Amino acid sequence: MPLDLNNRPVAGRVAALNARYRHHSATAVLEHALKDADLGRVALISSFGAESVVLLHLVSVIAPETPVLFIDTRMLFRETLDYQRELAESLNLCDIRTIRANPARMAFEDPDGTLHQFNTDACCALRKVEPLERALSKFDGWITGRKRFQNAERGTLDFFENEDDRRIKVNPLAHWGREDLEEYMVNNRLPRHPLVAKGYPSIGCAPCTSPVKPGEDPRAGRWRGSQKTECGIHFVNGKPVRNRQENAA
């Protein structure tokens, strides 16, 4: 990492990276950007969810030494935990780091595990946002599996984003469609998350995720019945994305 990286504004580095890799493929973005001086030290954040295997496989082929941060909220589906172990072994990922909430904070703020029932934002902050923020403090950027097709809020994603002038967010699959993901998984014979076949195209914590009916938005099963569409770990214009009302403001 260049010694003067911290003295170079994130916004300028993001603009340079987007200009440099604007016409590159997802593979090229990962292969070259991970070594780019404007990016710095990065980690891959993975939920080991419905589509996670594509990005995990790409990274395992291109840069298997890349740290992979897995947030275990302790409310995940058993299928997700089993799938995580399966992929870690089959893809030969050599630096998976499991991130969890501070036990003392958990005991104080959610002693009986019911916080999600009356304050989903607080639960996500406790179990996901704060643990990830601590883990990311050692990195200059992070790789996500976000894609434009997933919902309206993600419809204008670039390969590189400025996260509140603190870090760079890398979205190598931003321009991929659902058919691209499907083709990649079939061509590479990648194992699917077992819950996908049961109607879960987007998978989060068990208490806050439900099956999706045909024709519904793929993320309709996340926090169903509320305005919430994101857990809060992603930022738009410096603000955590939490629900449609905030995005419209």
| pLDDT of 4 | 53
Q: Is 207 exposed, middle or buried (0-12, 13-18, 19+ CB in 10 A)?
A: middle
Q: Any catalytic annotation for residue 231? A: yes
Residue 220 lies in a domain: no
State the Cα–Cα distance between residues 249 and 243, nearest whole angstrom.
Answer: 10
Helix H or strand E segment including 185 = helix 178-187
Residue 213 lies in a domain: no
State the Cα–Cα distance between residues 90 and 88, nearest whole angstrom.
Answer: 6
pLDDT tens digit at each of 249 positions of the chain: 443 565 689 999 999 999 999 888 888 888 888 888 889 999 999 999 998 999 999 999 999 999 999 999 999 999 999 999 999 999 988 899 999 999 999 999 999 999 999 999 999 999 999 999 999 999 999 998 888 765 555 546 788 999 889 999 999 998 888 899 999 999 999 999 999 999 999 999 999 999 999 988 888 899 988 877 677 655 444 444 443 333 322
* Burial state string for 148-166 with b = 16 or more CB within 10 A and e = fewer than 16: bbbbebbeebbbbbbbeee
| pLDDT of 235 | 45
Q: What are phi and psi of 71, to 5 degrees?
A: -90, 110
Residue 231 lies in a domain: no
Domain containing 102 — which CATH number?
3.40.50.620
Provide the residue range defining the domain that includes 122: 5-207
Residue 219 lies in a domain: no
* Burial state string for 94-112 with b = 16 or more CB within 10 A and e = fewer than 16: eebeebebeeeebeebbee
Sole residue written with tokens 């994101």: 230
Residue 226 lies in a domain: no
How many residues can be counted in the chain? 249
Does residue 169 sit in helix, strand or coil? strand
Q: DSSP strand E in 19-147: where?
A: 42-46, 68-71, 96-99, 141-143
Q: At what angle do helices 52-62 and 26-33 cross, to 10 degrees?
A: 50
Number of domains in the chain: 1
Record the pTM: 0.84
Residue 134 lies in a domain: yes
Residue 248 lies in a domain: no
State the Cα–Cα distance between residues 204 and 9, nearest whole angstrom.
Answer: 34
Q: Is 131 exposed, middle or buried (0-12, 13-18, 19+ CB in 10 A)?
A: buried
Sole residue written with tokens 């029932």: 117
Find the catalytic residue in 123, 124, 208, 231: 231
Residue 242 lies in a domain: no
